[in-house]
Each structure stands twice: as structure tokens, then as C-alpha cells.
Amino acid sequence: MSKHQHKKEFGQNFLNNPRIIQQIVAHIAPKPDQHLVEIGPGEAALTAPLLDKVRKLDIIEIDNDLIGPLTKRFAQHPAFFLHHADALSFNYASLLDPNETQIRVVGNLPYNISSPLLFHLLDSAAQIQDMHFMLQKEVVERITAAPGSKTYGRLSVMLQYSCLTEFLFEVGPENFTPPPKVDSAIVRLTPYKTRPFVANNEKDFQDLVRQAFSQKRKTLRNNLKGWLDETQITACGIDPGIRAERLTVEDFVNLTNRYTAEKL
């Protein structure tokens, strides 16, 4: 398998450090009765140690050149199920076995598609117990950022609305072949069974959050023009003169619910 030509378009930076691999698996803490899904197995750096620890491991890989070697190596393993497919359009809920309610998702993700992939996975959040991903460190910082911090934005709000987000640990470029140009980090996302704050209309929530952050330097008053006026923003206990980066998830939910109730 070592002759594989790494493909940039598929974000192929393969883990090469057994200590880091072990650390990731330890944080995932797979159990023998569990059903995991791995996105982007590559040359099986994570696949191999996970396979022996779980009941079932579904693997989603897009690169045709990796399918043969993966099949040859693991086809006999009773837990191994390979899907030659695009993770961006994959139907994750379809992997649930009868009587199963949730799967766990893991992966050292291709960084060039990480945001759309995370948003796609959120659509199946009810069927996912938790997710452990290697991502560009800057993206993990954005996902886990607190309101008011430099990296807090739409990605933070959308993920924190649905999931508990945890920055686990950093991984330097030297732990990959070839080394990526950026630092990496592992994040844990745990979808809420019961969300702490609930928007009455999810689509309105998505649209309002996008709109509030549409022009980074503008205040809420300006970005939400035509959506909510100053009186309505103030009635939510929010100063219309501040920027979206200062609002908590609860603030966004309150603004959305007012918008939904009064938009007619």
C-alpha cells in the first residue's frame, strides 16, 4: 500500500505516527458492541486499530485507487464494510441496523471539504451519538470558539446549536505523509439529545445566523435590516449596536423565534 500516490484533490495526508494514532483511538474509546463509521480511511491508519475493537465499522472512501488495497487487506474481517462513495452526499442514517438508533462517526477528514461535510453530517445529527474528527486546527478553533473571541462565527454558532463541541488536542504537520501546510487538531462533537435552546423554525435559524454574520464589521442593526428592527432586537435583551460575534447561541435562538413569530 505504500506505493500509493497521494492525491491533493482528495486531501490525502496520511497519519504516520503510531503514538498519535493510539491517542486518537484512546479518545474515541470504541467499545466491542458499538457501530462506527469512518470517513476517509486512506491507507487504514485508523481503520486497522478500530476494526478489532468494534462490532461493525462502515468505511467511506472516494478514491478508486484505495478501494482494491483496502478490500484485499480487510475483506475477511467480520466488522469491515466498505463503501466506495462520496462522504459529502452519503446517507449516514441508512447505515443504522434494525433496532439501532445511533452510530458513531470518526475520521481524519479531507480539509478542503470539511465545512460542507460537517453541515451535511448535522442533517443526520439525531442518528449520531458522537463524532471525532481531525481537522485543520484553525477550523477546530472556530468550531469551539466562545462568543466574543476572534474566531467565533457562523460555523461556531451552527455547530454549537446542535452539538457539545470539545477541542481535544493538536497534531503537528510532521505526523502526516505528506505533511500538510497547516496545523491540525482533533475535535469531539456530541449532538445534543435535547438541545439547550430550540429554534421554532430551523430554516429561519440557519438563514438568520447567516444574515447576522453576512458583513463581519457591521452591527446587528445593519445586518438584520429588513429582518428585525431595533425595537424587536432590544426586546430580545440584545443591544442592536453590537456585532453578531458577541451573541450566544441562546441570543440567536431568541432573535430567530421573534423573527419567526413576527415575519408575516
Which residues of this chain interact with ligand SAM, rule CB under 6 A?
10-15, 39-42, 45-46, 60-63, 66, 86-88, 108, 110, 113
Nearest approach in angstroms of CB 27 to ligand SAM is 14
3-state secondary structure of 89: coil
Nearer of residues 134 and 255 to ligand SAM, judged by Cβ:
134
Nearer of residues 116 and 241 to ligand SAM, judged by Cβ:
116
Contact 165, 263 (CB under 8 A): no
Nearest approach in angstroms of CB 36 to ligand SAM is 13
Nearest approach in angstroms of CB 39 to ligand SAM is 6
Distance of alpha carbon 199 from alpha carbon 206, whole angstroms: 10
- Give me the DSSP letters along 117-139: HHHHHHTTGGGEEEEEEEEEHHH
Would you say 175 is a known binding-site residue?
Answer: no
Nearest approach in angstroms of CB 182 to ligand SAM is 12
Would you say 43 is a known binding-site residue?
Answer: no
Q: Establish how many alpha carbons lie within 13 A of residue 83's alpha carbon, considering only the half-sphere containing its beta carbon.
A: 18
Would you say 15 is a known binding-site residue?
Answer: yes
Q: What does the CA dihedral 97, 100, 102, 106 come to, rounded to 10 degrees? A: -40
Nearer of residues 58 and 251 to ligand SAM, judged by Cβ:
58
Nearer of residues 5 and 101 to ligand SAM, judged by Cβ:
5
Which cell is 211 given? 444574515
Distance of alpha carbon 150 from alpha carbon 142, whole angstroms: 9
Nearest approach in angstroms of CB 260 to ligand SAM is 34
Would you say 61 is a known binding-site residue?
Answer: yes
Cα–Cα distances (Å) from 156 to 20, 52, 67, in that order, read: 26, 34, 34
Nearer of residues 128 and 233 to ligand SAM, judged by Cβ:
128
Residues annotated within the binding site for S-adenosyl-L-methionine are: 13, 15, 40, 61, 86, 108
